[in-house]
Amino acid sequence: MPHTLGLLGGGMIAASIARLAVDAGLDVVVSNTRGPATLADLVAGLGGRTRAATPEEAALAGDLVVAAVPPSAHGRLPAVALAGKTVLDTANYYPERDGRVPELEEGTTSSARLQSILPGARVVKAFNNITPHQIRTLARAAGAADRSALPVAADDETARAEAVALLDLLGFDAVDAGTLRDSWRCEPGTPVYIRPYLGGVPAMNIEDFLRWTEETPGVVVPAERVTALLAEAVRLRAGEAELPKENAV
């Protein structure tokens, strides 16, 4: 099991994962491109098992590393420091936010693209299909009857196993979503993306939606349901789904 989790990105997804990791007894090293000083409030809120660092330092320190940055920032990740590491990719591609990326428009998944950017790392798609607040509210101890599951996609089976073990430690079951090329099945616009963990979503603008997710405990989505939702997925052209900024970092 990992002792230290490295986090690349200091947004809402990263903060929620960091909170669960600290609660599970892991040391956490958080980072962003703006510098450790900008993470002081996050570190103070998480407590003594957390410290801020540069992305290179966080990558080197982590037994596992979470890349909680959008695809537009993937090229700025510390590729050398991530060599040999298992990297959990939480990102989703939204051209409204990221700009048009021809490779993704032509069918490459964002995680497969990240693997090509980080050839020395082992990329795993995880934590991309759930909102930040629900990461915290739906986490449950192993064996709990009301435990939710999340899809996990990977090319490397050792990395997949490491990611599954981390999810279990943090409070979630995992469902095999196939390879990185298959990870479109849990990307925006698919049946397993965000909405199952929220239940009925009222019509509202993005700002109200963000506030609403912070006030909503979420809906339990067990492994069997995640498996069924993945099987129902129909592939959309990348970027066709509406942008829900609750999963931005």
Give me the percent of the chain exceeding a pLDDT of 70: 95
Give the closest residue to 135 by CA, choosing from 7, 14, 11, 1.
Answer: 14
4-243: CATH topology is Rossmann fold (3.40.50)
Enumerate the domain spans of the chain. 4-243
CA 132/CA 245 separation, integer angstroms:
11
Place of tokens 């957390």: 50
113-149: per-residue pLDDT in tens? 999 999 999 999 999 999 999 999 999 999 999 999 9
The pLDDT confidence band at residue 241, using thresholds 50, 70 and 90, is: low
Q: What is the rounded average pLDDT for all residues in the chain?
A: 93
The pLDDT confidence band at residue 62, using thresholds 50, 70 and 90, is: very high
CB neighbour list of residue 249: distance below 8 Å, 6 or more residues apart: 9, 10, 11, 12, 13, 14, 68, 69, 70, 90, 91
Q: How far apart are the first and last CA of the chain?
A: 26
* Amino acid of residue 19: R
Q: Quick one: which H or E segment has residue 97? A: helix 95-98
